[in-house]
Structure 1
Amino acid sequence: MIGKVAAFLALVAAANAGLAPAVAYAQPAYAAYAPAVAKVAAPVAYAQPAYAAYAPAVAKVAAPLAYAAPVAKVAVAEPYDPNPQYSYGYSVTDGLTGDSKSATETRNGDIVQGQYSLVEPDGAIRTVTYTADDVNGFNAVVDRSAPAVVKKVAAAPVAYAQPAYAAYAAPAIAKVAAPVAYAQPAYAAYAAPAVAKVAAPVAYAQHAYLG
């Protein structure tokens, strides 16, 4: 590039000095030299993720319940019966399970009287008679009767009716018809073959010969 410029300047000087006609050379249009600059794309601006403001979880404590102040209970005196009285009783008899029992009780003031009985497993009947009062306390008398003896009566044998059998009939005998008498064919009387009768020899008289 520098050499071309020097040659051009020499030609111009010679022309000015009359050594050579001045030749007008069109200067080549040189593009302004500029080194290619690599275009670097502008960095993409990434949106920063939105972070929730960090705050430690705070345990919520329920507010204490407001309890009403205890109400003072006022004891109410129950009605008092100076002479209580009652009377009751019950009885159970179950033929299926064998359970049999009964009870009665009566109260008159501070004196209680009662009685109950039941059948024990062996069949004995136990009866308890009791009394109770504020002086003697509870007192009971137990009475036990012997178990009832159950006589087992043998059941009479059941008479079973004999099944009615039909009269036995002898099996029917097939009757065979008497053989039919067939008539013998009539044969003609056999005649003996006729015998040819031979006539008896004729007796010839002997000739008397004369001696």
Structure 2
Amino acid sequence: MYRKVVVLFVLAGLALSVPSDTYGPPAHHQTYKEEPQPYQYQYAVQDEYAGTDFGQTEESDGQTVKGSYTVQLPDGRKQTVTYVADHYGGYKAEVTYYGEAQYPHEYGPPITFKPQSYHEPAYKPEPSYNPAPSYTPEPSYH
């Protein structure tokens, strides 16, 4: 009985001595932090057929990020969010709306698109020529 208790304590001690995060960096690992780099970008998407209209601009001096993004809402208004973010003040945003919300009294049929089958082409290709056989088979005699 005494041996079982000793073995139990030894196994518990070994289990507790194993690090819990074996995939983490070693304790002596020195982390490298890159200096912040200034950047600037923008993009916009506008597809009148699908009703898609959105975009974003953003720039940073390496310490503070400033930007805005715009999206066309389903009710017809355009929403713009202008923001500033840094490590001291956090994320601060101002939201504005342009236009009047539109709620039609009558709704038409929904716009739907038939999904394209990926097992067959969307068109039926037809051969443009009929090649002649390149040889004539010899008759076989049995």
TM-score, structure 2 normalization? 0.48
- Structure with larger Rg: 1
Give the structure with the larger strand fraction.
2
TM-score, structure 1 normalization? 0.33
